[in-house]
Chain A
Amino acid sequence: MSRYRIAGRGRVDHGAPISFTFDGKTYPGLRGDTVASALLANGVHLMGRSFKYHRPRGAVTAGSEEPNALIGTSRGPGRFEPNTRATVQELRKGLVTESQNKWPRLSFDIGAINDRAYMLFSAGFYYKTFMWPKSFWDKVYEPFIRSAAGLGKSPTEADPDRYAARYLHTDLLIVGGGAAGIAAALVAAKSGARVVLVDENPELGGALLSDPGVTVEGQPAWAWLDASLAELRAHGVRLMTRTTAIGYYHQNFVGLCERLTDHLDTPPANAPRERMWRVRADQVVLAQGALEKPLVFDGNDRPGVMLAGAAQTYLNRYGVRVGDNPAVLTSHDSAWYAAFDLADAGSRIAAIIDTRSEIRADLLDAARQRGIRVLQGHTATGTKGRLRIASVRVNPLRGGTVGAGREIACDALLMSGGWTPSLHLFSHTKGSLAWDADSNTFLPDRKTEACQIAGAGRGLWGYAPVLADGVAAGLAAVAALSRSAGARQFAVANDRPGSGVSHTELPTDRSPGKAKAFVDFQNDVTAKDLRLAVREGMRSIEHVKRYTTNGMATDQGKMSNINGLMIAADALAKAPPQVGLTTFRPPYTPTSFGAFAGYLRGQTFQLTRKTPIDPWAEAQGAVFEPVAQWRRAWYFPKPGEDMHAAVARECLATRASVGIFDASTLGKIEVAGPDAVEFMNRMYTNPWTKLAPGRCRYGLLLGEDGFIRDDGVIGRLANDLFHVTTTTGGAARVLNMMEDYLQTEWPDLNVWLTSTTEQWATVALNGPNALAVLKPLVEGLDWDDFPHMSVAECTVAGLPARLFRLSFTGEVGFEVNVPARHGLALWTALMDAGKPHDICPYGTETMHVLRAEKGYIIVGQDTDGTVTPQDAGLDWAIGKAKPDFVGKRSLSRPDIVAGGRKQLVGLLTEDGSRLEEGAQIVLDPNQPLPMKMVGHVTSSYDSASLGHPIAMAVIEGGHDRMGEVVHVPMPDGVKRARITSTVFYDPSGDRLKA
């Protein structure tokens, strides 16, 4: 065993050794260790290199606020995770870890040259150093910044782990399982309320785990803890460890991320790695404790310099002495206790250096008893040591002047600048903070949520007041729940009360301009950077933060915010609350993407809607495309065919004989009721009154702004019943719009709207032989009264059907609707019946080509939300005699009737090449850059039937430019294209009449 590990001490299992590797070297550790505690037990302080200057760094904390000791961890392929805090990652068998941001190795890092060139990297260096020339950005600056600065490397493989998600409803959620949280839970548990107590650590207990010498209710702290947790369990309190409250949202909605397997040697197969809990609590108690502040002085980042509270935790929880002769540098009483614990455990304390001249007598006595040298009223002005601290330079402070310095040898330096209440979650709720001038910190003030804040989280110190405050918070929560519980008192002996003072940078006798006194360790921001930012004009803390990057690292300024504020306020000669505090935002600690995604990934990211005919298409080897949430057959390639060949064949076969198409995804809405026709007249542009039952009509739907929203063929089945079809993607929007008008504008209309999209399977037959295929299968229909644009209820292949005669191809066409459960039967019946005519199944791409050849628009492709019926050449669909319909008034707005609007036209290239959809159009290709763009290509296809490509486009004043030549700049040169009608195929429409 290493000389830094104390046999039998701490909460680690000394009978369960575990080995792990760090940068390829194997180290021994114990069950219960973190990577940091195990490395420290082996005398390893150097754990990483800093972000900007590549300075050697060690663990400065023992918790999730750690800024320095970031490591990569791995558990096989795809399971590499960068930027894991060594202070949080628990040891497991065979854990592989590595340091980050170093080359070639941690102890000798070429990037450390940045440390010498620090003047280049001062505040705002991103804005100053990398400004010009512009051409250097891509080739020189960005690669340099990316390789030199940075955290760990992102994994490149997909994450193979599973992540879970749960909802939880509870009466009381307590965040933080330290003394205050446990006291609140003990009280509340007896009220009968449902109570949940969460803590980010593997064990509940908080600071008590690091203070075993404290006595509560006559028991040693750890025994009291065991008894208390047993009591909570007996009352049914849900205790959750390794669970971080990452965000506090509206109406007491709290996100918890529970880590389930990272600490296990062998995770159970298929067990989720993390679970996101979405908790709704009637009451919340925030008992998050406080975070210790570093002191800001030259060389305060050297490995071996750490927070005194962290050293106390390593000793008492992990049985690890962080050094043989540590020095202590503090402005708060709490660090004295850390010194005493270490001295009692066998370390020789080099000195306790306190910036204060007045020290509590009992602390001085306790130091004297242990023979510890005490330097009151002293400052620290530097440290030495290459990869580990070797000495600290201290100077007396007398009447505001800094006396002569001297070196004190040490192998660790335990610092404490006091404690900052952890108010992150409270800040998430937009609760306001009030500056407390006595403690130089912000405390919670006005609350916006039903919550209580207890303990060190609101500035209290010492176990007796914290436990009492937890009781008070528990009682307040219980009262707010309209329940009752008895008060409790927890007698505390050997308490560790404390107070302290706050500093900006510690006073120094050296040039402050040369000091590397770090405020934000993770982003390498020094006190000098903050003062420079103020000198260069930054006045708000928000500006100082962004200019220097103080508090912008992954630790979100947990340690640096208050020190940064104190220094910025000092530089501005303002009180800290006048300078302000930056906003804390969720998540509290870095959280994996997997935890947020939960089950919503891969196949379960979004549902895939499939038609009843989808299995047939899949069996045929169709290639699918996503349309809205549907997957639709795109084309049906035969062996050896690419998409181009398959689509050309499908188009020709349909025009030559008959094609069959699955149109089931079309939106369908049934509009029923005595006022159905009035409703349709008001919603759609077209007139409906005179449409006889049994006939159908193309319907055009506008927004109130006059722009096209949707279209589709609408059949009138009876005086009071319309079968409306919508675009595939527009179905839900159209129903929502209809419901909106019906419920809120015209509640007097007696109309019922029903979505029937999924109730009907729809099969389209198109082509000169469509009638021949269909007719023998139809019963109950009078063919003599069934011209183009008719609808009837009949049977097709013995199935109940709504049969439409319409065309989206320019050929004779039908759409057969049957109840969805019969969709596949209908399809196979039609395929069988079509065999003699070489019936050809076609997909959405052929559907697009066939409709484009006829100039039929696709809403959302040829229109974009700024296209009016006139723009699209659809004036004919407007019922001009109707007094009103949605959007009618807008069609006479000044900017709608003004000339020069983009209008839909056809385009044919002179060289017969195909244009790119989205390509911009110009009138004069020789004009200077930037050219004036007059429109763009909306649809473009190769037309096998015509033997050349066709395109549609919206062009300014296009309807008045027929026959003119426009220019389309394309990657392979500017194309000349002639403006034409949008109807390319069978302009006379003879084929429909066949």
Chain B
Amino acid sequence: MLLIHCPYCEETLPELEFAYAGEAHIARPADPSALSDEEWRDFLFIRTNARGPHFERWRHIHGCAQFFNAVRDTVSDRFLMTYKAGAPRPDLSPKEDAE
């Protein structure tokens, strides 16, 4: 069972308190009617399916009930970091350079 850090509660808590909520940083278009069918299809269905760090959403559903973002490595199943909803996508590249 994973331990997940809630960026709102600022506590690291068991996975049981959380629910997965899909890939992160896929904002709903401001004016969906302006999108072509292909663009709308991509928004609805096309996802990264990353091998490695994956930006994804979680909800502290049995806690503060907030949605937040996380970076999880899909190979090791480890959380690299979590951050509040609305915060920009963290840049992981400097870290990779350092390795």
Contacts and interface: CB of A to CB of B under 8 A. Distances in A.
A741 B44 CA distance: 15
Interface string B9-52: 00000000001010000011001110101001100100000000
Given A251-B2, A744-B85, A884 B21 contact: no
B48 to A, nearest CB: 18
Contact of A736 (B31, B59, B66): B59
A679 to B, nearest CB: 14
B31 A884 contact: yes
B27 A745 contact: yes
Given A448-B76, A705-B44, A884-B31, A743 B2 contact: no
A897 to B, nearest CB: 10
A251 B66 contact: no
Given A278-B1, A889-B33, 14 more contacts: A249-B1, A250-B77, A251-B1, A253-B1, A280-B3, A704-B44, A705-B44, A740-B21, A740-B67, A743-B67, A744-B67, A747-B85, A747-B86, A890-B44
A348 interface: no
Given A704-B28, A740-B21, A890 B33 contact: no
A884 B34 CA distance: 11
A745 B27 CA distance: 7
Contacts of A741: 28
Contact of B37 (A249, A704, A744, A893): A893
Contacts of B57: 744
Contact of A743 (B19, B31, B77, B85): B85
Interface in A154-207: none
B35 A739 contact: no
Interface in A218-260: 249-251, 253
A739 B44 contact: no
A383 to B, nearest CB: 48
A745 B44 CA distance: 15
A883 B33 contact: yes
A105 to B, nearest CB: 48
Contacts of A851: none
Contacts of B85: 743-744, 747
27 contacts: A249-B1, A250-B1, A250-B3, A250-B77, A251-B1, A251-B2, A251-B3, A253-B1, A278-B1, A280-B3, A430-B76, A704-B28, A705-B44, A736-B19, A736-B59, A739-B67, A740-B21, A740-B59, A743-B66, A744-B67, A744-B85, A744-B86, A745-B27, A884-B33, A888-B33, A889-B32, A889-B35
Interface of A: 249-251, 253, 278, 280, 430, 448, 704-705, 736, 739-741, 743-745, 747, 883-884, 888-890, 893-894
B80 interface: no
A884 B28 CA distance: 12
A167 to B, nearest CB: 9
Contacts of A249: 1
Contacts of B19: 736
B3 A739 contact: no
**When A and B form their complex, which 7 residue pairs have the shortest distance between CB atoms, in order from nearest?**
A889-B32, A745-B28, A743-B67, A744-B85, A251-B3, A253-B1, A250-B2
A3 B11 CA distance: 64
A430 B75 CA distance: 10
Which bracket fits the contact residues of B? 20 to 34
A704 B45 CA distance: 10
A888 B32 CA distance: 8
B3 A894 contact: no
Contacts of B59: 736, 739-740
Interface of B: 1-3, 19, 21, 27-28, 31-33, 35, 37, 40-41, 44, 57, 59, 61, 65-67, 76-78, 85-86
A253 B41 CA distance: 40
Contacts of B65: 739
A705 B86 CA distance: 23
A885 to B, nearest CB: 10
A893 B43 CA distance: 13
Contacts of B44: 704-705, 890
Nearest to B3: A251
B37 A894 contact: yes
Nearest to B30: A884
Contact of A884 (B32, B40, B41): B32
Contacts of B78: 250
A736 B32 contact: no
Contacts of B66: 743
**Which of A278, A743, A744, A893 has the most B CB atoms < 10 Å from its CB?**
A744
Nearest to B35: A889
B68 to A, nearest CB: 9
B86 A890 contact: no
A747 B66 CA distance: 12
Contacts of A884: 31-33
Nearest to B61: A736
A21 to B, nearest CB: 43
Nearest to B85: A744
Nearest to B77: A250
Contacts of B31: 883-884
B28 to A, nearest CB: 5
A744 B26 CA distance: 10
Contacts of B3: 250-251, 280
Contacts of A889: 32-33, 35, 40
A739 B21 CA distance: 12
A752 to B, nearest CB: 12
Contacts of A883: 31, 33
A130 B22 CA distance: 45
Contacts of A253: 1
A850 B90 CA distance: 55
B16 to A, nearest CB: 10
Contacts of B37: 893-894
Given A740-B67, A745-B28, A893 B41 contact: yes
Contacts of A250: 1-3, 77-78
Nearest to A430: B76
A705 B65 CA distance: 25
B42 to A, nearest CB: 12
A704 B26 CA distance: 13
Nearest to B75: A430
A670 to B, nearest CB: 15
Nearest to A888: B32
B25 to A, nearest CB: 10
A983 to B, nearest CB: 33
Contacts of B28: 704, 741, 745
B54 to A, nearest CB: 16
Contacts of B61: 736
Contacts of B76: 430, 448
A739 B44 CA distance: 19
B97 to A, nearest CB: 22
A249 B66 CA distance: 27
Nearest to A886: B28
A894 B37 CA distance: 8
A884 to B, nearest CB: 6
